[in-house]
Structure 1
Amino acid sequence: MPRLLAPLAALLLLLLPAPPAASAAAAAPAGYQVGAGIADITAGVAEVGMLGYADPAQTTAGLASRLWSRAFVVADGAGGRVAFVSAEIDFVTTAVQVEVLQRLRARYGATYTDQNVVLTATHTHSGPGGFDDHILYNLTTLGFEAPVFEAIVAGIVRSIDAAHADLAPGAVKIAEGTLTGANVNRSIEPFNANPAADRARFPGAVDTRMTVLRFEQAGRPIGLLDFFATHGTSMTQHNHLISADNKGYAAHVIEEEVQGVDWAHRGDFVAAFAQTNAGDMSPNLRGGGAQGPTDDEFANTRIIGRLQADKARQLFDGATEVLSGPIVARGRYVDFSAVPVAGAYTPDGQAHRTCPGALGQNFTAGAEDGPGPDIVDEGDLNTNPLLLVAGIVVNPTPAAVRACQAPKDVFLGTGSQNPPWTPQVMPLQVLRIGQLALTTAPGEFTIVAGQRVRDAVDAQLAGVTTHQILAGYANAYAGYVATPEEYDLQHYEGAATHFGRYTQSAYAQELAKLAAAVRDGQATPSAVQPPSLTRNRISVRPGVVLDSPPLGKSFGSVVTQPAAAYPRGAEVRADFVTGHPNNDVRDEGTYVEVQRQVGSAWETVATDSQWQTLYRWKREYLGVSTAQITWTVPAGAAPGTYRIVHHGDAKGLTGTIRPFTGTSRSFTVTP
């Protein structure tokens, strides 16, 4: 994740302790139940700090696309179950995971737990922030944003509810392939510091692997879950519109264009595009990750999104291998501030330890697709006196931690504070769905770091599983995970590797232990739990005080009318007097409708759920604001008469919020 924040399974199944392979085969159920669900998690549409590029001046000002949580549930006939969520946010926070699990426990008892529920993020850098209890992650958003937190948590829970309610006999099929031209390595010098054997596994220094899961009920496809490594940075740090970025656009292509899902029948088919080890993988194909394929960020989002969608569709259509066998989930919370790491997992074969979390001076340089201020350069191992003093003043770090983190030059000792500024207790999982192993971890793994973790898990599950996915950005967030060799160069990814030089080694070791527990049917109790930090939920941003229309106007008045006619492909625009969009997040609703006249009625053909509309909000002065709505006429739009409708909400002097609707004059779409 660029700059400061770049930075995010089954009900416990007890198997017989006989030989692992035979035990698994004996317990294999006849088939699975599968379900899919989707829910809106959009909030903070205006004047909320965005999370990803860590720029306090980057605040929300409208919608390029709504954000969604997509969930898939798979259950076997012996009590095994996995719930997998892909949420269109930058990363999952500890606060979100804890609250989601609490609400699921209240609904379902022990059916969904921290062992079998996987919450992942697509890693879009164009969503609102402020949804964690750790200070660092809320710094550039100026504190906690309760409405954003609630929208994300409630939406994730609703998506799991929907998938749970949708459960029916079915199948999960798997297909694997490669996709080129959708990512580049933005950190090539650290990649080249790895041993030749590691580099040889990634020709061109990129991870081109794509895995697709196809969900069916009675032979009918109900969902697609894709895994591919590329950052959610097609939209740049200059953008102020909420956007699900390239992975969200890929989901839109599959759901709407391929499967024919429309805004009124959302959930008929669910397509999610999840992350793997995207730490050094950028969608910006020019300048070593610095620039997108074109100079238009909206076009770049569509280009990279469509590449993923087209390849995923090909794999989905060709998927024939059916996952079969038991569903097993093992998870554990681990305090990563002091993990003893055995020599089997370290480059020198010697035992080492991880360190309390810390960020190096070079993380302030940012990455190629999200550069920071011109203070230090990536890979500069000289101490910067300004950053050293600043770090000591705002975030003092003990000498022992500085020594442990070497060669990192510590700027912020985030794990040394009381309470810590970033999480130290991390959730880990290894889940088995038949012949597939799903490994989850709360970080941004570089491709070599991710491969080493996969290798460690595979070593334990040889003969049990034949496929493995590493799902990053899962269940919490603790920055990057670089290999020790990459760490030594202290580029952005290494400087943002929280727990020191042996962070990757510790993840490999701890996940290998969980894989062995999956294999052997052993329990994996947690010796630690994430601490409660709800006292940190403080915001300095004022809420909406008052909305007022300009003199002579009312809410919903049209201040810019559309032209009389437009050809297909043209952009239609209408501006309205509006209220603050944060008055009502319009959960599962819309601020925008594009309507076509059919006889004497008006039929809605597009909302802000679709990527053909843009909703821009602007504060003109005091409580006066406008909504600029644009609609790009689709190539297949039917000729006829259309209009744009804006739904808003205004807050009065007494604090009462009242909805309103404005309607543009009609216009013609020509053939």
Structure 2
Amino acid sequence: MAQGSHPSTVGVVSRRTVLRSAAIAGGAATLASMLPAYSAAQTSNLLVGRGIGDITGEPLGAGMNGYAEMSQMSTGLHLRQRARAFIFAESESSPRIAMVTCELGLMFQSIQLEVLRRLRERFGDTYHEGNVLLTATHTHVAPGGTSGHPMVDLSMFGFRPATFEANVAGIVDAIAMAHEDMAPTEIGVSHAELTNAGVNRSKQAFDANPDEDKAAFPTGIDPRSQTLQMYRGGQLVGVLNWFGEHATSMSTDSTLVSSDNKGYAAWHWEREVAGQDYLSGATPPLITAFAQSNAGDISPNLDLSPGSGPTDNEYENTRIVGTREYDAAAGQIGAMAPLGAGIDVRHVWVDITAVEVTPEFTGDGLTHRTSVAALGAAFAAGSQEDGGGGEDLPFNEGARGGNPAVAQIGDVVIPQWLRDAHGDKDILLPAGLVPHAIQRVFPFHLVRLGSQYIFGIPFEVTVVSGLRLRRTLGKALGVSPDQVLIQGYTNGYGHYLTTPEEYATQNYEGGATAFGPWQLPAIAQIGAGLAASMREGTPNAPGTWERDLTGVIPASPFGNPSVDVPAPGHAFGDVIDEPQESYRPGQRVLSRFAGANPNTDLRRGSTYLTVEREDARGWTRVHDDGDWSTMITFENLGPFTNALVSWDIPQGTPPGNYRITYSATGRGLGSTFPINGASRGFQVD
């Protein structure tokens, strides 16, 4: 299938069709009546606020975070990125916890600190570095260039101010909406097993772990899908789900901005099942967030090849895997246990390059230290099951023979002390030797929501690393490890977290464990310290963050608009290619417009396109660029930018007369101007 194409929504599950039809026909009340009944004994009462914000970045010429593939630059938009916020409190005057799930490739300190600054301007000291947890879903098809550390931004060809602003502003919007939405809410917690949505992509490393660890995961994955369910007056109003797997259903060939499988799961529940309108401006009746847990070595590519499994179509795979994540969470609705009372949090900033790890945590009876950052040749190979890393580069994961030539060179050019500190790693990039190139001071958060504990850390955590952290924190807290959840990608990014045994195999995850083989024991020690403070009810010294280079890193030269010029022979908004006269569900509608560079106006909270149906009131929007069935591709040739809009007509679309519209903001000499266009009408039979 050609790049940028995807199948229509033919063959969607009947359950989705039934629920979507019910939501549209009867609204929230009808949907609520279809939910399983639950008793008050299954829930706890808290104050909860819910919010959502548009964080979509630049859809043209922006490098994408995740694969570090420089050729993967945005060419359009498939599914908008969103931030979903939940704020929890026991009373109006008690401390709050804000948890925000962001459909971003990575979360960075640069974003965290700017969000906190803006929250402080609006809400004083209500929200701060101790009680705001921002986590990324880790989609690999979202614009990047937003880190304050240049090593990450290098693969994006520099910093991207417009994308950074969109990310920050949308997150603040979500938290502000949640702040205004605080209300008494019944909340419960549930669990299910999801076994057909992910596969361990680094089985050789996993198998290096002790038998007692592997016994916890017979299939090599952590199947736990955990959900917080939120109700008001019997109506489901919020869902926060955690399940660990990479958002890499879309490959390096994908250049249309999307939120991948976790974004699809959230969109499907909110839009297709609940029938809500993202562009209404109101707080939606239902907000569903799909966050990451220990996803480090779990791939959604079930055939262990990029873009492959369960089919050979990455768009269909995204839909299938996202639907499976949705099904696992939705299947828990109505069956739950009370969350319990009490909210607490501890946080600490730690220089992870210089942690002395005691024998209690190293496991070998000796004291060890973490190291300044260095990335291995296996990191440069990329995860060869998911893609990235540059296929033409002469690097391999350990399972594919490793990198003996790099090791020989390293013996000459890498200082002995650094090679000793990183053990089995064939060092390729000693990034920690360059000031500020990579983050080294990280925030760690331990949150208690009733009986549940969430350890928020800024790393990609393998399943066995997550298991060991849960056991360590459970022991320190005096609770079952099942009550502890590890949330990765939180409030920063420090690459991977593997067990020492996994590290020694030097597959991709071990090569990307940046601070040496004792990084996991160090973080276990940090977590145990926070747990002891929480259990004893004593304060801890949180420390502080280290300056990054936000505002210093040069802006990317790619994709930035200067002056727009319409396609030759056309005015802005003209339809260059009209749709056909008639279509049937399952077919694709195409319309090309004389447009402008989309990065001048990202249309946050709005849309570049609509699909409209004619009725007695005139033209009514039925789809927009936040929907799965639409795409917009920007064909950029110097000052000319044409916009190709496609709509894959879903099954069940009512017959009638439809049209496609396009909207943008053009840039002239010293000013901007609106652009609007509409195709001719076409019939859907």
TM-score normalized by the length of structure 1: 0.91
- Secondary structure (helix, strand or coil) at the match of 1:415 reads helix
The residue identity in structure 2 corresponding to 1:212 is: T
Distance 1:556 1:482, change over 3 A: same
* Cα-to-partner distance string for 1:626-662 (whole Å, 9 max, x where unaligned): 111111112221111110000022212x132111111
Distance 1:191 1:30, change over 3 A: closer
8 Å contact from structure 2 (residues 439, 548) kept in 1: no
Determine the structure 1 residue equivalent to 2:469. Answer: 453
Aligned counterparts of 2:215 and 2:191: Cα–Cα separation in 1: 20
> What's the CA shift for 1:606?
0.7
2:623 maps to which of 606, 618, 624: 606
Question: After superposition, where does 1:159-558 map in structure 2 within 5 Å?
Answer: 159-265=174-280, 267-287=284-304, 291-315=308-332, 317-367=333-383, 368-372=385-389, 373=391, 374-379=393-398, 380=401, 382-385=403-406, 388=409, 398-418=415-435, 420-463=436-479, 467-541=483-557, 543-558=560-575
Determine the structure 2 residue equivalent to 1:662. Answer: 677
8 Å contact from structure 1 (residues 391, 412) kept in 2: no
8 Å contact from structure 1 (residues 361, 387) kept in 2: no
The residue identity in structure 1 corresponding to 2:656 is: G
> What's the CA shift for 1:218?
3.4
Question: After superposition, where does 1:29-48 map in structure 2 within 5 Å?
Answer: 31-48=45-62
Aligned counterparts of 1:377 and 1:44: Cα–Cα separation in 2: 33
Distance 1:240 1:289, change over 3 A: closer
Determine the structure 1 residue equivalent to 2:100. Answer: 85
Determine the structure 2 residue equivalent to 1:154. Answer: 169
* Cα-to-partner distance string for 1:353-396 (whole Å, 9 max, x where unaligned): 1111110122111102114334121114554359948996xxxx
Aligned counterparts of 2:397 and 2:147: Cα–Cα separation in 1: 28
- Name the stretch that deviates more: 255-264 or 231-240: 255-264
Determine the structure 1 residue equivalent to 2:603. Answer: 586
Determine the structure 2 residue equivalent to 1:74. Answer: 88
1:57 maps to which of 61, 64, 71: 71
Aligned counterparts of 2:424 and 2:210: Cα–Cα separation in 1: 19
* Cα-to-partner distance string for 1:176-227 (whole Å, 9 max, x where unaligned): 0101110000000000000011111001111111001112233322111110
Aligned counterparts of 1:390 and 1:531: Cα–Cα separation in 2: 33
Distance 1:354 1:535, change over 3 A: same
The residue identity in structure 1 corresponding to 2:342 is: P
Determine the structure 2 residue equivalent to 1:117. Answer: 132
The residue identity in structure 1 corresponding to 2:528 is: A
Distance 1:279 1:463, change over 3 A: closer
Distance 1:188 1:455, change over 3 A: same
- Name the stretch that deviates more: 579-588 or 214-223: 214-223
Distance 1:387 1:170, change over 3 A: farther
Distance 1:390 1:657, change over 3 A: farther
Distance 1:202 1:466, change over 3 A: closer
Aligned counterparts of 2:406 and 2:448: Cα–Cα separation in 1: 49
Aligned counterparts of 2:444 and 2:670: Cα–Cα separation in 1: 45
- Secondary structure (helix, strand or coil) at the match of 1:411 reads strand
Aligned CA-pair RMSD: 2.0
8 Å contact from structure 1 (residues 34, 216) kept in 2: no
> What's the CA shift for 1:30?
8.6
Aligned counterparts of 2:680 and 2:515: Cα–Cα separation in 1: 59
TM-score normalized by the length of structure 2: 0.90
Aligned counterparts of 1:464 and 1:326: Cα–Cα separation in 2: 17
> What's the CA shift for 1:102?
1.4
- Secondary structure (helix, strand or coil) at the match of 2:250 reads coil
> What's the CA shift for 1:572?
1.0
The residue identity in structure 1 corresponding to 2:239 is: L
Aligned counterparts of 1:588 and 1:264: Cα–Cα separation in 2: 6
Are residue 139 (structure 1) and residue 160 (structure 2) matched?
no
Question: After superposition, where does 1:624-663 map in structure 2 within 5 Å?
Answer: 624-652=640-668, 654-663=669-678
Determine the structure 2 residue equivalent to 1:94. Answer: 109
Distance 1:264 1:417, change over 3 A: closer
8 Å contact from structure 1 (residues 37, 162) kept in 2: yes
Aligned residues: 634
The residue identity in structure 1 corresponding to 2:64 is: M
Determine the structure 1 residue equivalent to 2:20. Answer: none
- Secondary structure (helix, strand or coil) at the match of 2:634 reads strand
> What's the CA shift for 1:532?
3.8
- Secondary structure (helix, strand or coil) at the match of 1:150 reads helix
> What's the CA shift for 1:444?
0.4
- Secondary structure (helix, strand or coil) at the match of 1:318 reads coil
The alignment-based identity, stated in percent, is 39
Aligned counterparts of 1:659 and 1:634: Cα–Cα separation in 2: 30
Distance 1:581 1:388, change over 3 A: farther
> What's the CA shift for 1:263?
3.1
Distance 1:391 1:399, change over 3 A: closer
* Cα-to-partner distance string for 1:72-122 (whole Å, 9 max, x where unaligned): 011013613210000000110011111111111222222112121110000
Aligned counterparts of 1:218 and 1:100: Cα–Cα separation in 2: 33
8 Å contact from structure 1 (residues 391, 411) kept in 2: no
The residue identity in structure 1 corresponding to 2:315 is: F
8 Å contact from structure 1 (residues 376, 384) kept in 2: no
- Secondary structure (helix, strand or coil) at the match of 1:645 reads strand
- Name the stretch that deviates more: 61-70 or 94-103: 94-103
Distance 1:154 1:329, change over 3 A: same
8 Å contact from structure 1 (residues 170, 219) kept in 2: no
